[in-house]
Structure formats: structure tokens, C-alpha cells
């Protein structure tokens, strides 16, 4: 049989060292394997094996002795160290795991761990001998020290008793080696008194024993005879014992003498072994002390090597390369040395980030690290300050150079397109430097942005001013200015259409040149000076693609976009005045230019979608508002000219502003494009509304001729705007409104003429209609006063005798006050139609009320009217 680990003296010494200082004595130590099982089906237990050492220890405390079970584990250096401690007084159960067919795995149940949800640890021994040895030792300690035994499950007690008898020497030796603990050299079934869950005797065996006992006749049926029998047997046994004792007295003396000699030898041996034991203990203590110091020295050596390596890495991280130090502390930022400055910036950024994020937290409080961080902060502040000052001076110097060079601007007789290619090329040289400056100190970009905006604003203002001046000087227009405000009072139209087109083209040319320039400058400014905003390039919006940082990036963009708009306001401030001067100049030449300028501005407005050039949209909005304001002035002044006609003397015929409005609308339609349609429609609405209101007021000045006045003017409005109304929805609406008013005026005027000539005839018909409406029966009407048959005959005779003369008089009256002869045919046709309709109604009433009376038919009068 292989040697058990319980007999390993080195293991026992290592265990004793591990519990040194606890005053505990190791009784038994043995190697084992610890596994953990998860509760569930026994066939699916996942086990994680870990090597451990189980040590049984005792500790004397006064008259009492305490027993412990220690679990020791191996450290990374192979040294045993305490892992767990269990008190044997809490041991309630020992159970062999049935899942292990070898029987080497068992669990120990402690009553103070019952409430824990974790399954108890399982211990697997190398063989059953080691298992029996450990469990037997635990049972003996529990019996001798604690006076009680734990519950045993799954162990064959008879088998353990047989094993204990066979291995009594080993157990005894083990007991003596462990300090003479009171553990019996042999264990049998009756001494252990182990409570087991298995039945020691089966039911069948019990029945066989009872049958066997039944076959033996003990004679206990007669109590007195059985009692006498027992007394005789007892006396015989006592006599035999006394005889045996008397016969063995010499042997007993010899044995006692031998025992006394052996006792003396053992006492001498014990003293001799005690001396050697003391010496060995001192030697063991010295060896342990030497090993401890040796281990400490080895550990210290390893730690010192690791410390030196870490310090070397830290020194390498903290040291500043000489070439970078010269760049960071110098003041040279020329283009030739820019690459070196950028590399130095990259190193400084990396170094500071390393000190902030990538350095071990244990080094943060070191004085050397604090001093190096302070030194880097000073270098950073110095470098950022010098670089910022150089860039501010650089912007101002280069822009001053461009301002003093006339070749960059428009000159007399030569329009010069602004060209900033040299400026952007120079600035791109320093773009990477600005990005690093933002990383080092984002607050330093504020003054740089202001300096750049201030310098470039001077350049853009001068370019726009010189371009606008030369643009105005290059446009040749008629010397007489347009007087559109008097167009409705009768003055001639003196505006050359070519002048208007030329002025509009000049404005469009300025926007074509400068709006893309301002957009490019805004986008370049946003990227060059490190604003984190999305931009639109060729219609495609470019944004950040890092989905993990979308929330942070969006918040940062919102802040930068607000800052960018403020900076762009400084960059482009004042340009609206230069553009506005062109608008005012064009308005003075021809107010109708505002229509085409509005459309041009709106077209550029709809094309501005980039967030980086948002302020250009504000500039265009201001221009559009200014154009709308100027055009509104023109519309208001023209409307006042229309209203003045109301205060003039009596108006006859067609008012002059009606045909001139048609001419104005025709010219306005020539300049309509895109969104300027709304502007023109608003002007149309205001013009026509005031025209119609003024027309109605002028008509009321002379009620006698009001309808004729309205007929002629509404007809003139329709005739002059017929073509435009077919293509302009707004004018079509007013065209239909004028048509309705015209029809109403015609109806009123013709009714007056008809009733003037045939008043008695149609008055008679009206009386009959009133009676019918009052529910008077038709047969009763001829008996009403003034409606008799005689009255009917008188009315017909007075009205229809000489009807041709009455009709001729009606035609003359219609012709008398009409100034527009071209309206007479249509009005006379309408007059004849209305007369026939009224007469037909009269004939129907007579046929219904006076069926016996005869009147001229409608056909006769129609033929009469047709022949005239």
C-alpha cells in the first residue's frame, strides 16, 4: 500500500507553521481535493476540484480542550496558508457521497451553516484508507474531547470496525505521534455507538435469530428451579476464579517484576527522548527562522526588481525629449518649423493625457509626478500663449497686406472677383496647430476667433464695398429717374425696360459672386478654428458616425453651433449695408426691380442648408426684408395716388388708373420668378382693393349716373386685364369680382330705363303679383280696385300704342349718357332681353287672370325689336 500523506512529516511541519501563533496543536493532517457541487440532479453536478490539506487541531484552555478542523490551501509560492476554520463542536453529520463509486468522497455537516444556501464542500481522499483514517480520528476526538458523536450516514460501521482492528498499530502510532491525545488504539462497533441510517440486521435475519433462540430450552418456566441453577453456576465460577488466581500468583509476581523493569527503562528512555525533543525543537525553530528570512529576502529581491522596472518606465514617461522641449519653450512659429511644432504639440498632448488617465493611481500622489505635471502645465500655458499671440498677429498682418494691395479689389472699369486662395493656403499651414491648441486649452480659441473675424471682416467689407461701387458705376441707365408714383395721375411712363433688366442683373451678379464666397468663408472658418458642427458639402450633410457618442456629440455640437453663429455675426457684420446700398440704388432707378431682386434672393435662400453657414441665411433674410420694405413703400405710395382720385371733382368715363394698372401689371409680370409671386400678388390685392373701393366712392358722388360710371369702369377693368387674368390666379379672382359688379350695374341701369318707358304696364303686373302673394284667388283679382278688365284695357292702350316709339326712346336714353360707344351693342341686347322677359311674365299673368282679354304676343314684340 502506498504511503499515506498523514505520515508525511514535512506536511505536518508545514501545517504546524501555518497555524503558528494560534496555540493549536496539529493532531492529524492529510491531503485531499475540495469540490463544490450545485444542488440539483445528482447526475448533473458540476465539480471544481481544488487541492487542499485538512488538519485536525486541539487547543488546551484551562481544564477544557477545544477541537478544530482547519482547511489549508497552497499560495502562489507553494506555501500552505489557512483558508477556513471549523469548530468540531458544531459538527453534526458525516456523510459519504453515494455518487462517487469509489467511496472516497464525503461531506461534513456543521449545524452553524444550515441557513446558508450554498451546498457544503465535498472532500475527496486518495483512497478509502485515508478516508477511514480521517473520519475515525474525528470520531475519537469527538468522543474523548466533546463527549458526543456526530451522525454518520452512508458508512458501513462493521467495515470500519474491522478496518480499525487491522490498522491498530498505525492508529496507535498516529495517536502517540500527535502528542498523546486520548484516542483508543482500536475501535469496535460497540464502543463507537454510531447512529447510522442503514439497518444493521434485516427483517429476515431477525426472524431466523428468533427461531434459533426458540429451539434452545433454557428452562425458565419454573422460576425457583432457574434461580437455584443460576446460584450453583455462579458459585462454581467463583470457585474456579479463586483457584486460577491462586495458581497464577508466581506468574503474576514475575510479570510485575518485568513491568517494573520495563517501567524504569521507559522512564530513562522518556528522559532521553525529551532531551532530544527539546534539541530538535530548537533546531526546527532555527531552521524555520532561517527559511522565513530567506523567503523574505527573495520576495524583497523580486519586489526591488519590479520596482526598478516600474520606476524606469515612469521616468521614461516623465522625461521631456530635448528636441520637443526646445520647440515648446521657443517662440518660432515659421512655416518651415511648423512640422516640428506640431510633433511637439502631439507629444505634449499625449504626455498630459497619460498623466491624467493612463498613469497608475498609486503614482498620482508622488512628489515627482506632481512636480512633472506642474512643469507640463507651465510649458503648456507658455506654448499656448505664444502660439495664440503669433496667430493673432499673423491674421492681422496678412489681412493688412491684402488691404494695402489694390490688385485684390475692383478698380475703375474692372470688376474683380474676390480671391482668398492665398489666405486659405497660409491658414491651412496652421490648421493642425490650432487643433492641438484646442486640445491643450480650448479657451484659447476664443480670442483667436475674434481676431480672425475682425481682420477678415475688414477685408470682406472692403471687397463688397469696392465691388458694389464699381458695379453701380458700370451700369448705364437713363438720366431721368423713374416716376412710378405718378403713374396713376397721368404722367408718362419714362422707365426703360433695358435699365430695369440691367439693374436686376447687377444685383444678381453681386449675389452670384459674394454669397458662395461668404458660404465658403463660413465653412472654412468653422473647420479652421475647430468648431464641432455638421456641415453641408455638395448637398450631402456630413456628421459624426460614432453611434456610441451620439448623445455627447449632439450636446457639444449644439453649444459649438451657438458659438459659431455669434462668431459669424462678427465675421459678416456690416455686409448687409453694402448689399443694401445696391438694393436702394436699384429701387431709385426702378421700384419694379424689387420683384426680380426678391426672387433672386429667395433662390439663394432656399439653397442655404449648411449649419456651418447659418449666418449667411440671416444676411439673406435681412436683404429680403429690405427688398420687401422698399417694394412695400412703392405699393403704399401708389395706393395713396389712387385714393387721391376720391377727393377730385366729379369723375366721368373710365378712370385713368384702370388702364395704367393694366400696364403696370404687365410690367410686373415680366419680373416675377419663384417666390416673388407672393410679393406681386400682395401688391395686386392692395392695388385692386383700393381701386374698387375708390371706384364705388366716386360713383356715389353722383347717384343719377352711378350705374353708368360703374359699368364703364368695370368693363374697362375686364378688357384691360383679360389676357393677364387667364394666367394670373389673383388677377383672375378680381376679374370675376369686376364681372359680377358689372352685371349688377347693368341690371340696375336697364331696369331703370325699361320702367321709365313702360312704368304703367309693369306696375299693373306688379300689383297682380302682390295679390297672388297675399293668397288672393285669381278669379277675384279682376274685381279688385284698379285691376278690372277696363283698367287692363286702359293700361294696354296707354303703354303699347306706339310701342315702337317707346322702344326707340328707350334706346336713345341708353345711348345718351354712355361715353364708351363699344359698350352700347351689348347693353342694348341685354336691354331687349330683359324687356322681353318682363313682358312675357306680364302676358302669362293676363292669360291666367283675364283669359278673355287679348294682348299682343311676345313673338310680335320680339319681331318688332329685331326689325329696329
Q: Which residues have CB under 8 Å from 814's CB, separation 6+?
A: 750, 753, 824, 827, 828, 831
> What's the confidence (pLDDT) of residue 472?
84
**pLDDT single digits (tens) 440-466:** 777 888 888 898 898 899 988 888 888
Strands (E), 801-854: none
Q: Give mean pLDDT, residues 384-390.
A: 82
Query: Alpha-carbon torsion 47, 49, 53, 59, what sign?
Result: negative
Residue 135 has pLDDT above 60, yes or no: yes
> What's the confidence (pLDDT) of residue 232?
85
> What's the confidence (pLDDT) of residue 117?
59
Phi, psi values for residue 202, rounded to 5°: -80, 170
Distance between CA atoms of 298 and 548, rounded to whole angstroms? 48
Q: Give mean pLDDT, residues 603-623.
A: 79
> What's the confidence (pLDDT) of residue 39?
43
Query: Alpha-carbon torsion 400, 406, 410, 411, what sign?
Result: positive
Residue 160 has pLDDT above 60, yes or no: yes
Distance between CA atoms of 861 and 27, rounded to whole angstroms? 151
Q: Which of 620, 427, 431, 611 is nearest to 537 (CA)?
A: 611
State what percent of residues in the chain have pLDDT above 70: 78
Average pLDDT value over all residues in the chain:
78
> What's the confidence (pLDDT) of residue 46?
46
State what percent of residues in the chain have pLDDT above 90: 9
Would you give the distance in Å from CA 133 to the centre of its chain? 68
Q: Are 659 and 720 in contact (CB under 8 A)?
A: yes
CATH topology of domain 9-38+48-167: PH-domain like (2.30.29)
pLDDT-based confidence at 29, cuts 50/70/90?
A: very high
> What's the confidence (pLDDT) of residue 287?
93
Residue 545 has pLDDT above 50, yes or no: no
> What's the confidence (pLDDT) of residue 308?
81
Q: Give mean pLDDT, residues 177-195.
A: 38
> What's the confidence (pLDDT) of residue 306?
85
625 is written with which cell numbers? Answer: 426684408
Distance between CA atoms of 135 and 125, rounded to whole angstroms? 11
Question: Which of 49-58, 198-207, 302-311, 794-803 bottoms out in mean pLDDT, i.e. has the lowest?
Answer: 198-207
> What's the confidence (pLDDT) of residue 32?
92
Phi, psi values for residue 67, rounded to 5°: -120, 140
Q: Which of 200, 196, 175, 168 is nearest to 94 (CA)?
A: 196
pLDDT-based confidence at 289, cuts 50/70/90?
A: very high
Q: Give mean pLDDT, residues 726-736.
A: 90
Q: Are 480 and 494 in contact (CB under 8 A)?
A: yes
> What's the confidence (pLDDT) of residue 53?
93
Would you give the distance in Å from CA 577 to the centre of its chain? 41
More confident residue, 738 or 413: 738
Distance between CA atoms of 408 and 466, rounded to whole angstroms? 10
Q: Are 50 and 34 in contact (CB under 8 A)?
A: yes
Q: Which of 144, 231, 149, 232 is nearest to 189 (CA)?
A: 149
Residue 185 has pLDDT above 60, yes or no: no
844 is written with which cell numbers? Answer: 302669362
> What's the confidence (pLDDT) of residue 491?
35
> What's the confidence (pLDDT) of residue 377?
75
Q: What residues does each domain of the chain span? A: 9-38+48-167, 230-317, 761-811+821-867
Residue 490 has pLDDT above 80, yes or no: no
> What's the confidence (pLDDT) of residue 442?
79
Residue 418 has pLDDT above 80, yes or no: yes
pLDDT-based confidence at 283, cuts 50/70/90?
A: very high
Question: Which of 207-216, 574-583, 661-670 bottoms out in mean pLDDT, i.e. has the lowest?
Answer: 207-216
pLDDT-based confidence at 559, cuts 50/70/90?
A: low
Q: Give mean pLDDT, residues 1-13.
A: 77
> What's the confidence (pLDDT) of residue 409?
67
> What's the confidence (pLDDT) of residue 2?
57
> What's the confidence (pLDDT) of residue 296?
92
> What's the confidence (pLDDT) of residue 736?
92
Would you give the distance in Å from CA 458 to the centre of its chain? 41
Say what the pTM is: 0.56
**pLDDT single digits (tens) 787-846:** 878 888 887 787 777 777 888 888 888 888 777 778 888 888 888 888 888 888 888 888
SS3 label, residue 537: strand
> What's the confidence (pLDDT) of residue 213?
60
More confident residue, 316 or 777: 777
**pLDDT single digits (tens) 310-362:** 777 766 666 666 666 666 776 666 666 677 777 777 777 777 776 666 566 66
Q: Which of 143, 180, 188, 136 is nearest to 161 (CA)?
A: 188
pLDDT-based confidence at 182, cuts 50/70/90?
A: very low
Distance between CA atoms of 304 and 291, rounded to whole angstroms? 20
> What's the confidence (pLDDT) of residue 62?
79
Residue 610 has pLDDT above 90, yes or no: no
Q: Which of 599, 619, 534, 615 is nearest to 567 (CA)?
A: 615
Amino acid at each position: 500500500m502506498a504511503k499515506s500523506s498523514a505520515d508525511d512529516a514535512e506536511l505536518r511541519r508545514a501545517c504546524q507553521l501555518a497555524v503558528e501563533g494560534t496555540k493549536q496543536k496539529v493532531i492529524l493532517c492529510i491531503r485531499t481535493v475540495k469540490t463544490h457541487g450545485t444542488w440539483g440532479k445528482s447526475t448533473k453536478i458540476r465539480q471544481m476540484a481544488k487541492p487542499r490539506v485538512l488538519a485536525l487541531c486541539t487547543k488546551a484552555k484551562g481544564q477544557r480542550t477545544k477541537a478544530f478542523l482547519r482547511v489549508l490551501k497552497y499560495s502562489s509560492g507553494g506555501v500552505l496558508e489557512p483558508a477556513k476554520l471549523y469548530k468540531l463542536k458544531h459538527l453534526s453529520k458525516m456523510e459519504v457521497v453515494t455518487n462517487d463509486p469509489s467511496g472516497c468522497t464525503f461531506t461534513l455537516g456543521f449545524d452553524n451553516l444550515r441557513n446558508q444556501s450554498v451546498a457544503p464542500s465535498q472532500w475527496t481522499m486518495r483512497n478509502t484508507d485515508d478516508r477511514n483514517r480521517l473520519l475515525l480520528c474525528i470520531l475519537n476526538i469527538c468522543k474523548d474531547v466533546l463527549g458526543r458523536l456526530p451522525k454518520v450516514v452512508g458508512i458501513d460501521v462493521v467495515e470500519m470496525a474491522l478496518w480499525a482492528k487491522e490498522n491498530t498499530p498505525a492508529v496507535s502510532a498516529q495517536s502517540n505521534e500527535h502528542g498523546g491525545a486520548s484516542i483508543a488504539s482500536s475501535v469496535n462497533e460497540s464502543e463507537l455507538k454510531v447512529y447510522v441510517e442503514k439497518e444493521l440486521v434485516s427483517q429476515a435475519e431477525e426472524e431466523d435469530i428468533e427461531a434459533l433462540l426458540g429451539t434452545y430450552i433454557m428452562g425458565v418456566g419454573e422460576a425457583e428451579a432457574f434461580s437455584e441453577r443460576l446460584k450453583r453456576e455462579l458459585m462454581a465460577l467463583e470457585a474456579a476464579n479463586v483457584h486460577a488466581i491462586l495458581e497464577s500468583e508466581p506468574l503474576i509476581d514475575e510479570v510485575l517484576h518485568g513491568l517494573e523493569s520495563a517501567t524504569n527503562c521507559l522512564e530513562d528512555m522518556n528522559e532521553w527522548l525529551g532531551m532530544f525533543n527539546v534539541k530538535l525543537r530548537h533546531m526546527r525553530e532555527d531552521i524555520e527562522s532561517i527559511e522565513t528570512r530567506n523567503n523574505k529576502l527573495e520576495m524583497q529581491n523580486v519586489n526591488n526588481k519590479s520596482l526598478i522596472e516600474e520606476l524606469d518606465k515612469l521616468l521614461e514617461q516623465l522625461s521631456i525629449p530635448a528636441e520637443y522641449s526646445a520647440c515648446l519653450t521657443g517662440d518660432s512659429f515659421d512655416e518651415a518649423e511648423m512640422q516640428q511644432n506640431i510633433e511637439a504639440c502631439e507629444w505634449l498632448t499625449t504626455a498630459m493625457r497619460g498623466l491624467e488617465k493612463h498613469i497608475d493611481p498609486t503614482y498620482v500622489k508622488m512628489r515627482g509626478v506632481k512636480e512633472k505635471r506642474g512643469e507640463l502645465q507651465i510649458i503648456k500655458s507658455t506654448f499656448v500663449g505664444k502660439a495664440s499671440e503669433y496667430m493673432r498677429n499673423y491674421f492681422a498682418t496678412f489681412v493688412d497686406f491684402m488691404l494695402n494691395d489694390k490688385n485684390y479689389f475692383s478698380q475703375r472699369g474692372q470688376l474683380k472677383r474676390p480671391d482668398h486662395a492665398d489666405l486659405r493656403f497660409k491658414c491651412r499651414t496652421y490648421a493642425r496647430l490650432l487643433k492641438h491648441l484646442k486640445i491643450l486649452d480650448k479657451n484659447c480659441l476664443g480670442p483667436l476667433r475674434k481676431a480672425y473675424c475682425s481682420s477678415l471682416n475688414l477685408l470682406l467689407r472692403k471687397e463688397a464695398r469696392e465691388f458694389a461701387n464699381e458695379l453701380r458705376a458700370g451700369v448705364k441707365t437713363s438720366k431721368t429717374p423713374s416716376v412710378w408714383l405718378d403713374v396713376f395721375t397721368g404722367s408718362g411712363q419714362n422707365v426703360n425696360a433695358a435699365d430695369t433688366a440691367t439693374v436686376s442683373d447687377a444685383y444678381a451678379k453681386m449675389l452670384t459672386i459674394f454669397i458662395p464666397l461668404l458660404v465658403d468663408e463660413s465653412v472654412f472658418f468653422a473647420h479652421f478654428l475647430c468648431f464641432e458642427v455638421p456641415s453641408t458639402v455638395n448637398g450631402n450633410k456630413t456628421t459624426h458616425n460614432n453611434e456610441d457618442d451620439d448623445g455627447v456629440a449632439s450636446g457639444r455640437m449644439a453649444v459649438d453651433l451657438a458659438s459659431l453663429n455669434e462668431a459669424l455675426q462678427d465675421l459678416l457684420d456690416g455686409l448687409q449695408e453694402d448689399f443694401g446700398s445696391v438694393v436702394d440704388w436699384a429701387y431709385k432707378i426702378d421700384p419694379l426691380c424689387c420683384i426680380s431682386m426678391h426672387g433672386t434672393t429667395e433662390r439663394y435662400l432656399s439653397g442655404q442648408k449648411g449649419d456651418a453657414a447659418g449666418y449667411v441665411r440671416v444676411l439673406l433674410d435681412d436683404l429680403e426684408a429690405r427688398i420687401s420694405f422698399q417694394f412695400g413703400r412703392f405699393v403704399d405710395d401708389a395706393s395713396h395716388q389712387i385714393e387721391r382720385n376720391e377727393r377730385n371733382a366729379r369723375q366721368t368715363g373710365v378712370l385713368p388708373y384702370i388702364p395704367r394698372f393694366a400696364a403696370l401689371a404687365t410690367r410686373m409680370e415680366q419680373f416675377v420668378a419663384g417666390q416673388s409671386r407672393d410679393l406681386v400678388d400682395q401688391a395686386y390685392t392692395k392695388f385692386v382693393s383700393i381701386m374698387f373701393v375708390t371706384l364705388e366712392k366716386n360713383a356715389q358722388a353722383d347717384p343719377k349716373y352711378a350705374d353708368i360710371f360703374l359699368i364703364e369702369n368695370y368693363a374697362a377693368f375686364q378688357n384691360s386685364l383679360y389676357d393677364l387674368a387667364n394666367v394670373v390666379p389673383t388677377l383672375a379672382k378680381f376679374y370675376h369680382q369686376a364681372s359680377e359688379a358689372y352685371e349688377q350695374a347693368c341690371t340696375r341701369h336697364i331696369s331703370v330705363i325699361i320702367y321709365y318707358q313702360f312704368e304703367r304696364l309693369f306696375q299693373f303686373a306688379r300689383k297682380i303679383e302682390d295679390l297672388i302673394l297675399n293668397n288672393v284667388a285669381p278669379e277675384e283679382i279682376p274685381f279688385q280696385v284698379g285691376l278690372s278688365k277696363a283698367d287692363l284695357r286702359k293700361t294696354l292702350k296707354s303703354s303699347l300704342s306706339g310701342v315702337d316709339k317707346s322702344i326707340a326712346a328707350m334706346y336713345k336714353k341708353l345711348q345718351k349718357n354712355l361715353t364708351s360707344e363699344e359698350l352700347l351693342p351689348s347693353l342694348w341686347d341685354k336691354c331687349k332681353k330683359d324687356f322681353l322677359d318682363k313682358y312675357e311674365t306680364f302676358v302669362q299673368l293676363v292669360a291666367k287672370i283675364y283669359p278673355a282679354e287679348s294682348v299682343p304676343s311676345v313673338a310680335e314684340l320680339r319681331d318688332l325689336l329685331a326689325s329696329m
